[in-house]
């Protein structure tokens, strides 16, 4: 068993079993709380999550605009996330790649990135609030500051250490220019690792997005998942909170699986 790969069927079965266990554990916990106090909403039942001011309401179109609240919230958060996360990932990739390939860039950027990567972006909230104000750029500043230093350093290490120099020498004997070596050899070689590093950055990026939305929610009545949850604070809003958490978790699982599938599809050699 030790470090032996298992079949795809087994993998799927075990993964599904783990999710079902989570659902069963939650159901048991909620049932236990409901038996003690049927009015308790700190761990609502599935029925309560759906019906009592929870998801059912969020999925019902508003009378005045016809918009579905949950769609409106998730769309707003998703747009903020995808725009700034994509830009940050591209910037990190370029920065890390060129740092790994060119020593002067490495010498110039490594110290500031090491410095910045030790400062949690959440501590920069007030500074960004003053610097960029509460607007679309505020989310960008939080996500970029939160993930670029660590992602760029991860990619820089991959570019510097994961590609055997023999492959670069060989490419040069095959007529590759320096830029061809960067693009066609080093980038191609570390691409699956870049995808993996980007996938692992999704979690931290979401934390910074939600932290920014939290601040925004305190100041404005905008739309967004965290902003909505702020309006439904406390035990009364727990049914909606759990509903949103459930949706976020499901979307996260789907997104993660999609990224894994893309990595396997784009880099089939990496799976072997």
Partner 1 sequence: MYDIVLDCQSVHHWFGDQKVLYDVSLKVVRGQIVALVGPSGFGKSTLLRAILGTHPPASGQVLMNNGPVTTPGRDRGIVYQKYSLFPFLTAHENVAFGLMLDQSSLPFRLFRFWKWRNLRKTHLRLAAELLHKLGLGNSLHLYPSQMSGGMCQRVAIAQALILKPEILLLDEPFGALDEATREEHQQMLLELYQENLTEKQAGRNPPYTVILVTHELNEAMKVSDRVVALSKYWLWEDENHRESPGSTVVYDAVAPGPPRDGGAVLDTFLKQRSEIRQAAFQPTTRHKRGEFIRFWRECQEGKGRGVMQ
- Which positions touch partner 1 (CB under 8 A)? 164-167, 169-177, 179-180, 183-185, 188-189, 191, 267-270, 272
Specify whether the CB–CB gap between 57 and 45 falls below 8 A.
no
Sequence-distant (6+) residues with CB within 8 A of 109 are 95, 99, 152, 156
- In the DSSP assignment, the letter for residue 124 is G
Of the two residues 38 and 175, which places its CB atom closer to partner 1 in the complex?
A: 175
Instruction: Considering the complex, state which of residue 151 and residue 186 has its C-beta at the smaller distance from partner 1.
Output: 186
Smallest distance from partner 1 to CB 92, Å: 21
What is the nearest approach in angstroms of partner 1 to the Cβ of residue 258? 22
CB of 40 to partner 1, least distance (A): 55
Give the residue with the Cβ less far from partner 1, 80 or 189. 189
Contacts 24+ apart (CB under 8 A), 185-191: 186/97, 186/100, 186/101, 186/159, 187/97, 189/162, 189/163, 190/97, 190/155, 190/158, 190/159, 190/162, 190/163, 191/266, 191/267
Q: How far is the CB of 85 from partner 1 (least distance, A)?
A: 25
Between residues 14 and 174, which has the closer beta carbon with respect to partner 1? Answer: 174
């Amino acid at each position: 068993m030790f470090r032996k790969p298992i079949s795809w069927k087994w993998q799927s079965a075990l993964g599904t079993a783990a999710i079902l266990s989570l659902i069963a554990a939650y159901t048991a916990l909620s049932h236990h709380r409901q038996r003690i106090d049927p009015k308790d909403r700190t761990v609502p039942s599935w029925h309560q999550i759906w019906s009592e001011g929870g998801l059912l309401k969020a999925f019902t179109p508003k009378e005045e605009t016809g918009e579905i609240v949950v769609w409106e919230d998730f769309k707003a958060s998703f747009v903020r996330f995808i725009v700034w996360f994509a830009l940050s990932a591209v910037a990190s990739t370029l920065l890390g790649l060129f740092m790994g390939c060119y020593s002067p860039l490495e010498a110039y950027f490594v110290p500031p990135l090491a410095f910045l990567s030790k400062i949690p972006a959440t501590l920069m909230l007030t500074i960004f609030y003053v610097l960029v104000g509460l607007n679309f750029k505020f989310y960008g500043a939080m996500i970029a500051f939160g993930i670029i230093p660590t992602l760029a350093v991860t990619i820089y290490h991959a570019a510097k250490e994961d590609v055997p120099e023999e492959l670069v020498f060989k490419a040069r004997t095959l007529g590759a220019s320096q830029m061809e070596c960067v693009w066609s050899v080093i980038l191609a070689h570390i691409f699956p690792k870049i995808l993996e590093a980007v996938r692992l950055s999704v979690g931290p990026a979401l934390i910074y997005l939600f932290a920014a939305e939290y601040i925004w929610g305190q100041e404005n009545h905008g739309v967004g998942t965290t902003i909505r949850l702020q309006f439904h604070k406390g035990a009364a809003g727990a049914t909606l909170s759990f509903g949103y958490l459930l949706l976020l978790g499901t979307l996260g699982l789907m997104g993660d699986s999609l990224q894994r599938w893309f990595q396997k599809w784009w880099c089939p050699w990496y799976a072997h």
